[in-house]
Structures are given as structure tokens and as C-alpha cells.
């Protein structure tokens, strides 16, 4: 059995390795992310992660597939990845001085078995000036991230505080995922301990 990450996100690859899972293959899902209006953000990230996982798992039924989808929501309005710099500026202005929520849906599948869950973390931004927004966008960091910021990068200076799983805001709730993987017979701590014994 191989472990497959159905994501091209470098942050998710990094977090999987931090969990002690270093021997895995990356096969990004190709399906388009389509917002389903009837779903709240928690249901939406679960459904999108499930679709990504099912797409990749269909071609690898003997392997264990991990997929995830992350979204930012403020007042139940979902903020995806910005399409333009103006779009990023609007998102950052919306988040300025406010509490928002980061949702990540995670699906793990092997063969006919599939498990989907989600994690929610609350994040509060400090009040941003127009100059703050312009300078942050000039770093290029907001353009490939849900909500137009990355908490692990320059965006860290925008965040006053969080409640919940920090890694969830990066795109992969590692504590929840670890518990899910154990149910499929993969214990990240056991893998990490074995690696340390053999190095």
C-alpha cells in the first residue's frame, strides 16, 4: 500500500512530512472546485475534499488517498483564492479588524472505504491600513491562498490571534488527520518513531 496526497499544495506536503509521513506520492486531483450554494462552508469543504479524494482513489484502489480543501468564511460568506490583485485587496479589506473562520475538509480513502471530516479555526486580523494591504499584496503571497493570506508567511503579521488548530489555517489539520489515519491502520507517531530508530 502506498500513501497518496491528492494535492499539489507545497504546504500540505510539508505538513504531511512534519507528521512523520515521508514516503508518499503526490497525485493532484484535476476536478474543478465548484461552490455548492446550498452548502455551508463546513459542508462545502467536506464535499470538495470528498470529490478530490474519489477522483484520485478511483485510479488507485489499493492505496490510501488523502485529500483536503480549505476555505475562509466571514459572516458565512466564503472567500476562496483571489483571481486578481484587486480581488485580494477586497478580501483583505473584508477581513481587516474582524474575526473569520478557516474550514478544512479532509477525506481519507482506501478501496471502498472513505472517511470525511472537517476542522474549523477562528482567526482575528488586526485592523489593516490601505498601505498594509498594498504592501502585502506586493509580496505576491496572497495570490494562491484561500482568503488571500498565508499565516505561515508574511501574513503572520496581520493575525492578532487564533483559536483552534494553527495547521488547519495552513491547509491541513494534522491532529484530526492523524486520528483519521489511525482508523486506516496508519499511525504517524509509529512511523516517526521507526524512522528515528533506523537513522
Residues annotated as catalytic (active site), given as ranges: 69
**Distance from C-alpha of 167 to C-alpha of 69, rounded to nearest angstrom:** 13
Residue 198, CB-side half-sphere exposure with 13 Å CA sphere: 6
* DSSP string computed for 151-193: TTTGGGGGEEEEES-HHHHHT--HHHHHHHHHTTT--HHHHHH
Residues in the chain: 199
Close Cβ partners of 10 (under 8 Å, ≥ 6 residues apart): none
Question: Which cell is 118 given?
Answer: 472537517
Beta-strand relationship, 113-125 and 77-79: unpaired
Contact of 41 with 197, CB cutoff 8 Å: no
Amino acid at each position: 500500500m502506498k500513501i497518496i496526497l491528492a494535492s499539489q499544495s507545497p504546504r500540505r506536503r510539508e505538513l504531511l512530512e512534519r507528521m512523520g509521513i515521508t514516503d508518499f506520492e503526490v497525485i493532484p486531483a484535476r476536478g474543478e472546485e465548484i461552490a455548492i450554494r446550498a452548502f455551508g462552508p463546513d459542508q462545502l469543504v467536506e464535499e470538495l475534499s470528498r470529490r478530490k479524494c474519489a477522483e484520485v482513489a478511483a485510479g488507485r484502489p489499493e492505496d490510501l488517498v488523502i485529500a483536503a480543501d480549505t476555505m475562509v468564511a466571514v459572516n458565512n460568506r466564503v472567500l476562496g483564492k483571489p483571481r486578481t490583485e484587486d480581488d485580494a485587496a477586497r478580501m483583505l479589506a473584508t477581513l481587516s479588524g474582524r474575526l473569520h473562520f478557516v474550514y478544512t475538509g479532509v477525506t481519507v480513502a482506501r478501496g471502498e472505504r472513505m472517511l470525511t471530516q472537517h476542522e474549523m479555526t477562528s482567526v482575528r486580523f488586526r485592523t489593516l491600513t490601505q498601505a498594509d494591504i498594498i504592501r502585502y499584496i506586493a509580496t505576491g503571497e496572497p495570490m494562491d491562498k484561500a482568503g488571500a493570506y498565508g499565516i505561515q508567511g508574511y501574513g503572520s503579521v496581520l493575525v492578532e490571534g487564533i483559536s483552534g488548530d494553527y495547521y488547519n489555517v495552513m491547509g491541513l489539520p494534522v491532529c484530526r488527520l492523524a486520528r483519521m489515519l489511525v482508523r486506516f491502520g496508519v499511525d504517524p507517531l509509529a512511523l516517526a518513531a521507526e524512522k528515528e530508530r533506523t537513522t
